[in-house]
């Protein structure tokens, strides 16, 4: 949970040096009539990175991607690629390619015809042999070397997904945009495709921008994640930064699980705030830059808390909160406890199997103590 200097961690992930920037949203806003689909998006995309847009349905992920691709023009602000404003450049003239939410393959064409479609539209025309050779190379990259003559309806969902990928990489784009490319696949196939996609990105050395509403997918694949809500960017950071230092309640809730506890901040120094919890206990928590004295919300992850019985000794720099077990869910590798903590309210505590077997399980109704170690909680900012 603990990162010593929050302002440095934030700077590292949001500031991209100008020479590293492949594309940029500069105050990009998109209105569809009364709907504000993208609201002043500012984001620099680093050359060669794997960046994900993560957020719930309708938050503006596809809209952001379509502005980068050139299928939508921002109503205000601009989109830049390689430092140039491309707002007036049509999609087919941008060095980007997009894999759509629903692949959009041509069902009456073969796999090879689908993959070579874009190249056949080029003017001046490319020689047929060159097109065939590029199609073969693209199919080999997505492991469909022998599938060129097949019809789209003769393929599985995972294979169709690879055809869509081959079609998108054949033009050697600088940036590949992927709109929920794995949404139609079952869980196992999705895991395999995620690994393949990562390998493909490494081998092509191309910037990938992925849209997903699946937090595990975003956490496991991305160099950085841009969390969106209501058309706005809630936070940008590496998966670990977002998990360890969510800036506000929205991000804390969206990435992993978090207990959110009301507290009063009575002192703050060197990135640590002293928080008085509802039961009167005082604990040191990671602070935000800026003055947060007064009422605050503190986030604490369920795995950062541990359980102890009444007679157990309390380690140093730790508060022990009296609580009663209300629910217990055994999940194999861990047990999830729901507790009612006196003066604080409901808390979730995740106990890994090893720890649980060492202390023993706690029954529903048992009176226990929740141990909260200094430096593991985090002050949240007001919401986005």
Give the nearer residue to Mg ion in terms of CB position, either 61 or 373.
61
Q: Characterize 303-321 residue by residue with b for buried, 16 or more Cβ atoms within 10 angstroms of its Cβ, and e for exposed.
A: bbbbbbeeeeeeeeeebbb
Give the nearer residue to Mg ion in terms of CB position, either 168 or 378.
168
Helix (H, G, I), strand (E, B) or coil at 153: helix
Give the nearer residue to ligand ATP in terms of CB position, either 53 or 337.
53
State the binding partner of 70 from Mg ion, ligand ATP, none, CB within 5 to 8 A by kind. none
State the binding partner of 6 from Mg ion, ligand ATP, none, CB within 5 to 8 A by kind. none
User: Which tokens belong to 378?
Assistant: 């985090």
Q: What is the 3-state secondary structure (H, E, C) of 235-277?
A: EEECHHHHHHCCCEHHHHHHCCCCEEEEEEEEEEECCEEEEEE
Give the nearer residue to ligand ATP in terms of CB position, either 37 or 370.
37
Q: Where are the alpha helices (DSSP H) in 25-110?
A: 61-69
Give the nearer residue to ligand ATP in terms of CB position, either 227 or 349.
227
Beta carbons within 10 angstroms of residue 42's beta carbon = 13
Instruction: Name the one range near ligand ATP by CB under 6 A: 32-40, 248-256, 320-328, 349-357.
Output: 32-40
Q: Residues binding ligand ATP: what is the number (CB under 6 A)?
A: 12
Q: Which of 265, 319, 259 is CA-nearest to residue 291?
A: 265
User: Least Å distance between CB 280 and ligand ATP?
Assistant: 43
58 binds ligand ATP (CB under 6 A): yes
User: Least Å distance between CB 162 and ligand ATP?
Assistant: 22
Task: For residue 204, give the H/E element and its range.
Answer: helix 187-204
Q: Restricting to residues 85-104, which ones interact with ligand ATP according to CB under 6 A?
A: none
User: What does the alpha-carbon distance between residue 195 and residue 201 come to, in Å, rounded to a whole number?
Assistant: 10
32 binds ligand ATP (CB under 6 A): yes
User: Least Å distance between CB 247 and ligand ATP?
Assistant: 20
Binding site for ligand ATP (CB under 6 A): 32, 35, 37, 55, 57-63, 213
């Amino acid at each position: 949970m603990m990162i010593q200097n929050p302002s440095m961690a934030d700077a590292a992930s949001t500031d991209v040096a100008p020479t590293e920037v492949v594309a940029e949203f500069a105050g990009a806003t998109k209105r569809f009539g009364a709907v504000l689909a993208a609201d002043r998006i500012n984001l620099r995309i680093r050359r060669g990175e794997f960046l994900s847009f993560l957020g719930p349905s309708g938050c503006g992920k596809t809209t952001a991607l379509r502005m980068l691709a050139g299928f939508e023009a921002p109503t205000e602000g601009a989109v830049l690629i390689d430092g140039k404003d491309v707002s007036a450049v049509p999609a087919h003239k941008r060095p980007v390619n997009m894999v759509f939410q629903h692949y959009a393959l041509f069902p009456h064409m073969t796999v090879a015809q689908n993959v070579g479609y874009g190249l056949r539209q080029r003017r001046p025309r490319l020689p047929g042999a060159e097109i065939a050779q590029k199609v073969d190379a693209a199919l080999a990259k997505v492991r469909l070397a022998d599938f060129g003559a097949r019809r789209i309806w003769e393929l599985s969902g995972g294979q169709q997904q690879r055809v869509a990928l081959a079609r998108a990489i054949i033009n050697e784009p600088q940036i590949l945009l992927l709109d929920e490319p794995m949404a139609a696949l079952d869980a196992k196939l999705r895991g395999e495709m995620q690994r393949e996609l990562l390998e493909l990105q490494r081998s092509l050395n191309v910037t990938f921008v992925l849209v997903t509403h699946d937090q595990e997918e975003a956490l496991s694949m991305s160099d950085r994640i841009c969390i969106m809500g209501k058309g706005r960017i809630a936070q940008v950071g590496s998966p670990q930064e977002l998990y360890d230092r969510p800036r506000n309640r929205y991000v804390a809730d969206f990435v992993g699980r978090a207990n959110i506890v009301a507290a009063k901040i009575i002192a703050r120094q060197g990135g640590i705030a002293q928080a008085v919890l509802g039961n009167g206990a005082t604990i040191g928590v990671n602070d935000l830059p800026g003055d947060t004295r007064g009422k605050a919300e503190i986030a604490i992850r369920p795995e950062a808390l541990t359980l102890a019985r009444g007679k157990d000794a309390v380690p140093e720099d730790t508060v022990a909160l009296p609580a009663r077990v209300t629910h217990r869910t055994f999940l194999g590798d861990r047990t999830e406890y729901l507790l009612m903590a006196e003066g604080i309210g409901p808390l979730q505590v995740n106990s890994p199997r090893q720890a649980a077997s060492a202390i023993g399980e706690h029954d529903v109704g048992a009176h226990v103590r929740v141990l909260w170690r200094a430096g593991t909680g985090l002050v949240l900012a007001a919401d986005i």
